[in-house]
Structure 1
Amino acid sequence: MNELARRVVVALIGAPIALGFIWIGDAALTTLLGGMAAIGAWEFYRLARDSGAAPMAPLGIVLSALIPIAVHAHYLGVARMPIALVPLVAVATLGASIWLRGVEGRPLASTSSTIFGAIYTGGTLSFAYALRYHNYAVGDMAGALVVIFPLVLTWASDIGAYFSGRAIGGRKLMPSVSPGKTIAGAIGAVITTIGVAYALVHLLLIPKAQLAFTPVGLVIFAVLISVAAQIGDLAESLLKREAGVKDSGTLFPGHGGVLDRLDSLFFVLPTAYVLYDLLLIPAPGGR
């Protein structure tokens, strides 16, 4: 089975599962996000070690998995998370390095990579939960679609880049980071994302969630989501190049590991959250 076929099989299996967890939301979505965050953090810390750092991996993995749980508790009103908790965790991690790393264990690099790994995985993935219960999204249908919309746009961007890049070829986008990506692929990704966004808004978001964008807002949203997705892909490739590995893991055949599969979403999810606040409007004739 070639690489494209493996990708298709994994997507056909994984996509419905992910969409199901998004639809259910609450503890089910938290469990999915926490699990993916923990595995992603484990992969990240392995890359960090291969790059010469010495992250406190067990601590970082626990922190990464706890972030979606903390967000879930915050939205339930069980435990309000004060903003001061963020610097407190950072300095506590530095404090832990006194015993876990010491002077010879490069405590600055160790602490920095540990904290960044947790934010990069658990912190960014937690925005999927925040999107699911975004204040614009009233009801399960609207909440699920608010998450699914940027997810599908990310897939559209990836597909558009893949096929336009192979069909047109031409000048490489950033050969030192990702040799296979072309400028034509990047442009094709943006165009594909705009087209899919327009279709989804009119077929699903407006009639099912009573949410919309202005015409200009829709184009801005689609373009920035595609750009975020492509930067996320390149950023993870950059980490792998430094570590000297092809894939972050082997969990998904044809896709690599969690970081390989979710690299774009680490950038897309927080970007979508900000853009929704700026650009999303009630659909005309809706609530």
Structure 2
Amino acid sequence: MSAALLAGEAAARAVPVVAGVLGAGGVAVAALPARVRMRAELRRRWRTWAFAAPVFLGALWAGPGGAFLLAAGLGVVAVAEYARMTGLPRGERAVLWAAAVLLPAAALATAGWRPPAALGALDVSGTVDLSGTVDLFGTLDLSGTLDLLGTVDLLDARTVGALLLLAVLPALFSGDAGHGFTRASRTVFGLLWIPLSLTGLVLLGDTAVAVGVAVAFGDVGAWCGGTALGRRGPLARPLSPLSPNKTWAGVAGSAAAAAAGLAAVGAFAPLLWAAVLTGCVLGDLLESMVKRESGVKDAGTWLPGFGGLLDRVDSLLLALPMAMAVTL
């Protein structure tokens, strides 16, 4: 069964779940009395969720090609916000923008995707038989690197190594002795944090749908748990000084909601749940660390109810590589 079909089936299972939750949430937010302090903020957040959910699920429903477009689009916007926050010069920004497109493209090639028209026009199965026609006495071994059905492993250690080298070149050639190391370190971190993580949208196939839904549930559950249980008692203790509003009550709420999200789309597994929960809990703290050093409250101002794109996908950026680690 193709990756596109699997992703389409997973998205089809997720659509009624997400639609039901969005519908119930919309009714609840609309019914909030005017005296509720966060009424306007919650309505803005709901509108953003209502826009983002169809875009996310629709892209993954389209298969690996749609996942590539989603990963590249998110990556280009996210690295722009990250570069602006950290004050990276144009050279480093160019490297990150290139990686935001090239790494998902490499993941697409690694997944063996071909445009539907090309797949229909050319059928090579059974038409080429190279057995016994060439003997190089064992000097050439392509096992694992080339698949005659079109799969080329372009996302390997060599690719990542080349990108890391490109990340440090602008600082090296500029001769920046005062801030060169900081520039290079921030570029390498940004490359690993954003473009490389987003390749999971392509490589995980149907699991990417489950991770995205579960992360969304986990983020909402963290807010609900922190609001309901995080005012007093042992669960009110903050996780880290980086974000005093993030409490153990939020972790409990996130754990329950993420598990419910995975179960709702038929993808619950303990390791995958742990990967998603790690992203939900630590992803937000990671972005808080970046923002605090940069002296900003939000990564941007254009996304209603959240700030910037990084403020919305910070959990996903950690959950995706964790999910790849436990499933691929």
Note the C-alpha offset of 1:261: 0.9
1:83-126 Cα deviation digits (max 9, x unpaired): 22222332243334333x31345222222211221221111011
1:85 and 1:175 mapped to 2: Cα distance? Answer: 35
Of 49, 67, 73, the residue aligned with 2:103 is: 67
* Equivalent position of 1:34 in the other structure: 72
Of 144, 157, 164, the residue aligned with 2:218 is: 157
- Residue 190 of structure 1 contacts residue 227 of structure 1 at CA under 8 Å; is this kept in 2? no
Cα distance, 1:175–1:118 mapped onto 2, change above 3 Å = closer
Cα distance, 1:28–1:181 mapped onto 2, change above 3 Å = same
State whether structure 2 residue 94 is matched by structure 1 residue 21: no
State whether structure 2 residue 83 is matched by structure 1 residue 48: no
* Equivalent position of 2:304 in the other structure: 253
Of 253, 256, 263, the residue aligned with 1:198 is: 263
2:305 and 2:252 mapped to 1: Cα distance? Answer: 24
Letter in 2 for 1:11: W
- Residue 168 of structure 1 contacts residue 184 of structure 1 at CA under 8 Å; is this kept in 2? yes
State whether structure 2 residue 42 is matched by structure 1 residue 4: yes
Cα distance, 1:221–1:26 mapped onto 2, change above 3 Å = closer
Cα distance, 1:80–1:193 mapped onto 2, change above 3 Å = closer
Letter in 1 for 2:40: N
Unaligned runs of 5+ in 2: 1-38, 113-149
* Equivalent position of 1:135 in the other structure: none
* Equivalent position of 1:148 in the other structure: 209
* Higher deviation after alignment, 239-248 or 224-233: 224-233
State whether structure 2 residue 187 is matched by structure 1 residue 114: yes
- Residue 287 of structure 2 contacts residue 311 of structure 2 at CA under 8 Å; is this kept in 1? yes
- Residue 165 of structure 1 contacts residue 181 of structure 1 at CA under 8 Å; is this kept in 2? yes
Note the C-alpha offset of 1:193: 2.2
- Residue 168 of structure 2 contacts residue 188 of structure 2 at CA under 8 Å; is this kept in 1? no
* Equivalent position of 2:293 in the other structure: 242
Of 281, 284, 289, the residue aligned with 1:233 is: 284
Of 129, 142, 161, the residue aligned with 2:202 is: 129
- Residue 193 of structure 1 contacts residue 223 of structure 1 at CA under 8 Å; is this kept in 2? no
2:308 and 2:283 mapped to 1: Cα distance? Answer: 15
1:238-266 Cα deviation digits (max 9, x unpaired): 11111111110123111111111110011
1:183 and 1:173 mapped to 2: Cα distance? Answer: 6
Query: What percentage of residue pairs aligned between the two structures are identical?
Result: 29
Letter in 2 for 1:73: A
Name the larger-Rg structure: 2
- Residue 232 of structure 1 contacts residue 264 of structure 1 at CA under 8 Å; is this kept in 2? yes
1:150-173 Cα deviation digits (max 9, x unpaired): 111111111111112111223232
Instruction: Provide the aligned length of Structure 1 versus Structure 2.
Output: 247
Instruction: Flag as ranges the 4+ runs of structure 1 deviating above 6 A.
Output: none
1:186 and 1:15 mapped to 2: Cα distance? Answer: 23
* Equivalent position of 1:180 in the other structure: 245
- Residue 68 of structure 2 contacts residue 202 of structure 2 at CA under 8 Å; is this kept in 1? yes
State whether structure 2 residue 204 is matched by structure 1 residue 166: no
Unaligned runs of 5+ in 1: 133-142, 206-212, 278-287
The two structures, once aligned, show a CA RMSD in angstroms of 2.2
State whether structure 2 residue 315 is matched by structure 1 residue 269: no
Cα distance, 1:93–1:222 mapped onto 2, change above 3 Å = closer
- Residue 92 of structure 2 contacts residue 170 of structure 2 at CA under 8 Å; is this kept in 1? no
* Equivalent position of 1:139 in the other structure: none
1:253 and 1:195 mapped to 2: Cα distance? Answer: 26
Q: Please identify which structure carries the higher strand content.
A: 1
Letter in 2 for 1:230: V
State whether structure 2 residue 129 is matched by structure 1 residue 91: no
2:184 and 2:294 mapped to 1: Cα distance? Answer: 18
